[in-house]
């Protein structure tokens, strides 16, 4: 597979030095380890990507990605032979592997790295993680903006946000070189151990925190669930320093905030993680039990919500829908074809629901909004949403990094894809100024036709989709008028019924 030779004009001493540096790579970047990670990534992308892409394309682009480490590296492919150059100097040729052979292409990329290592001080000074980043970023560059690589550290943070982590449910703020406890969850292990807001953290497991970064101290506090951690804290109000013991528990970031006001329950959802469904279910159940018939309806505020877990979004929509289609997905891989149906129970017992969207509401937020709108179960208020109608598959790699691959499209119950289009509100407040107490109340005579066109415009008709999108331009702000309109809809059954019937779209602020 490989063809190589000594470059013309090299002295023997130069060749010896290059051989020494070639030996260095074998210990710094072990071949088996590097090749296994690259092969795993190449295979996952080629198998699962929404767009057809060969391992050959991924391998070649990955090789070219090494130029982001050292611009002197270039790759020239001619008639099945890959030439590796450093500047104007040829240093190695590689015979192309079979186009589908991920392991052989991973080995070929490793051979290219090995070839340039003696020539490039930048490559010689780098580490394995930087190599993976350069190769995978380049390999994914021709797919879409949502397909990306995350190294082990970044991937760990992603998993923590999705699934939670072992911790104490407290947050710190660094002030000069000291660490102030600025929040302690009353149901968390830190509070149970005696830590209070305003305390100063001095030591973790007998290790002083002073001199460390906030990230490092947070890492000290994290660990496996049900492991013990010893904290030394100082309470400034008393000047007393004490040692406390806490047991780490699964910590999942809060995503839901509830507020009840005069018959209306407002639920703000920041994103969709493993805790979102249970939090929403509990808040709705509590409101129904506490307020009974006085609870007139619900405002689901998804403005600024970037998305999250697909199945949690489906389950959230299911809280409000009694049976029938919620969403379906369709891609190239057989496993990407899924249909999600609602169960027969509506937790709200048919109470009015209004969903707030803006231009930053994306993905999982759009799943919920599209499902509730198409099933005539909610009125959507605000501006057109972001328009991310694709699903990403996350593949964990042997180095604990992960590759996120776009692998299917989302299809709303009425059959349209909102990718690049968004969900169109029934009540559009886009463009209404914050300082206006009352905006125009303009009924669109072609509202029904507009909604039909929204749901039937072709996925490849970019101009048509763009033009429709401008009928309610995406607006990233969170307007007070959105909430005012939502309350009016919830509390006025006739007005609510008018818009859930989907016969008219309107620009309404009253």
* CATH number of the domain residue 272 falls in: 3.90.226.10
Clarify whether residues 97 and 245 are in a common domain.
Answer: no
Clarify whether residues 355 and 492 are in a common domain.
Answer: yes
In a domain, 353, yes or no: yes
DSSP code of 29?
S
Q: Is 388 annotated as catalytic?
A: yes
Clarify whether residues 436 and 469 are in a common domain.
Answer: yes
Could you tell me which residues are beta bridge partners of residue 381? 356, 427
Clarify whether residues 241 and 273 are in a common domain.
Answer: no
pLDDT of residue 8: 42
Q: Where do the DSSP E strands lie in 236-313?
A: 240-247, 249-251, 256-261, 264-269, 297-301
pTM of the model: 0.80
Q: What's the rounded mean pLDDT across residues 312-334?
A: 95
CA dihedral sign of residues 49, 52, 55, 57: negative
Q: Is 361 annotated as catalytic?
A: no
Least confident of 47-61, 239-253, 369-383: 239-253
Nearest C-alpha neighbor of 422 from the set 481, 382, 375: 382
User: Which residue range is the domain that position 66 belongs to?
Assistant: 2-143
In a domain, 160, yes or no: no
Of 199, 318, 374, 475, which one is the catalytic site residue?
374
What are the tens digits of pLDDT across the range 140-182?
999 999 999 999 989 988 888 788 889 998 999 999 889 999 9
Clarify whether residues 295 and 432 are in a common domain.
Answer: yes
Cα gap 21→27, rounded to integer Å: 10
Clarify whether residues 90 and 126 are in a common domain.
Answer: yes
Of 92, 275, 296, 388, which one is the catalytic site residue?
388
DSSP code of 7?
P
Of the CA atoms within 13 Å of residue 306, those in its CB half-sphere come to 3
Q: Which residues contact 418 (CB under 8 A, 6 or more apart)?
A: 366, 370, 385, 387, 389, 410, 412
Q: How many angstroms from the chain centroid is the CA of residue 391?
A: 10
Nearest C-alpha neighbor of 89 from the set 105, 108, 76, 107: 76
Nearest C-alpha neighbor of 384 from the set 417, 424, 356, 421: 424
Choosing from 251, 277, 303, the residue where a domain stops is 251
Clarify whether residues 109 and 205 are in a common domain.
Answer: no
> Hey, what are 94's tokens?
């590689």
Clarify whether residues 133 and 13 are in a common domain.
Answer: yes
Instruction: Name the one residue in this structure whose structure tokens are 């990670």.
Output: 37
* CATH number of the domain residue 170 falls in: 2.30.42.10
Clarify whether residues 241 and 272 are in a common domain.
Answer: no
Number of domains forming the structure of the chain? 3
Clarify whether residues 51 and 179 are in a common domain.
Answer: no
In a domain, 391, yes or no: no
Cα gap 427→429, rounded to integer Å: 7
Nearest C-alpha neighbor of 454 from the set 466, 442, 443: 466
> Hey, what are 151's tokens?
């190294």
Residue 394 φ/ψ, nearest 5 degrees = -105, 120
Choosing from 109, 143, 177, the residue where a domain stops is 143
Q: Is 152 annotated as catalytic?
A: no
What are the tens digits of pLDDT across the range 409-466?
999 999 999 999 999 998 899 877 654 444 333 334 446 678 888 999 998 899 999 9
Of 40, 363, 393, 408, which one is the catalytic site residue?
363
């Amino acid at each position: 597979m490989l063809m190589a030779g000594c470059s013309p004009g090299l002295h023997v001493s130069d060749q010896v030095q290059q051989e020494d540096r070639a030996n260095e790579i074998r210990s710094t970047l072990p071949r088996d380890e590097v090749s296994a990670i690259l092969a795993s990534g190449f295979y996952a992308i080629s198998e699962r990507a929404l767009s057809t892409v060969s391992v050959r394309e991924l391998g070649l682009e990955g090789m070219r990605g090494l130029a982001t480490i050292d611009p002197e590296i270039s790759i020239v492919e001619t008639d099945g032979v890959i030439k590796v150059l450093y500047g104007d100097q040829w240093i190695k040729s590689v015979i192309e592997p079979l186009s589908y052979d991920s392991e052989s292409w991973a080995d070929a990329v490793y051979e290219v790295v090995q070839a340039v290592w003696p020539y490039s001080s930048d490559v010689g000074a780098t580490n394995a993680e930087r190599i993976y980043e350069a190769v995978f970023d380049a390999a994914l560059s021709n797919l879409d903006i949502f397909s990306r690589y995350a190294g082990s550290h970044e991937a760990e943070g992603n998993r923590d946000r999705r699934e939670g982590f072992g911790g104490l449910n407290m947050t710190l703020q660094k002030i000069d070189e000291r660490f102030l406890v600025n929040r302690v969850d009353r149901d968390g292990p830190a509070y149970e151990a005696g830590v209070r807001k305003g305390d100063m953290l001095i030591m973790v497991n007998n290790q002083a925190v002073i001199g460390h970064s906030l990230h490092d101290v947070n890492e000290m506090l994290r660990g496996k669930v049900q492991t013990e951690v010893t904290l030394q804290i100082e309470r400034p109000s008393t000047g007393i320093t004490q040692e406390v013991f806490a047991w780490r528990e699964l910590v999942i970031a809060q995503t839901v905030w509830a507020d009840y006001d005069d018959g209306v329950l407002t639920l703000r959802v920041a994103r969709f993680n493993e805790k979102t469904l249970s939090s929403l279910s509990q808040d709705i159940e509590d409101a129904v039990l506490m307020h009974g018939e006085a609870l007139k309806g619900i405002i689901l505020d998804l403005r600024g919500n970037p998305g999250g877990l697909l199945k949690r979004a489906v389950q959230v929509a299911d809280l409000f829908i009694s049976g029938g289609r919620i969403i379906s997905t369709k891609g190239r891989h057989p496993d990407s074809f899924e249909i999600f149906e609602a169960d027969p129970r509506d937790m709200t017992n048919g109470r009015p629901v209004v969903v707030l969207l803006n231009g930053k509401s994306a993905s999982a937020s759009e799943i919920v909004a599209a499902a509730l709108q198409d099933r005539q179960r909610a009125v959507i208020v605000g501006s057109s949403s972001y328009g991310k109608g694709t699903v990403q598959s996350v593949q964990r790699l042997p180095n604990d990094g992960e590759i996120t691959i776009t692998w299917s499209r989302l299809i709303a119950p009425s059959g349209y894809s909102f990718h690049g289009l968004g969900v169109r509100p029934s009540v559009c407040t886009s463009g209404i100024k914050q300082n206006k107490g009352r905006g125009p109340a303009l009924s669109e005579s072609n509202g029904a036709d507009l909604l039909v066109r929204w749901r039937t415009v072709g996925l490849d008709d970019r101009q048509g989709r763009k033009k429709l999108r401008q009928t309610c331009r995406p607006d990233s702000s969170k307007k007070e008028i959105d909430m005012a309109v939502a309350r009016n809809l919830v509390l006025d059954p006739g007005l609510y019924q008018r818009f859930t019937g989907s016969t008219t779209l309107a620009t309404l602020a009253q």
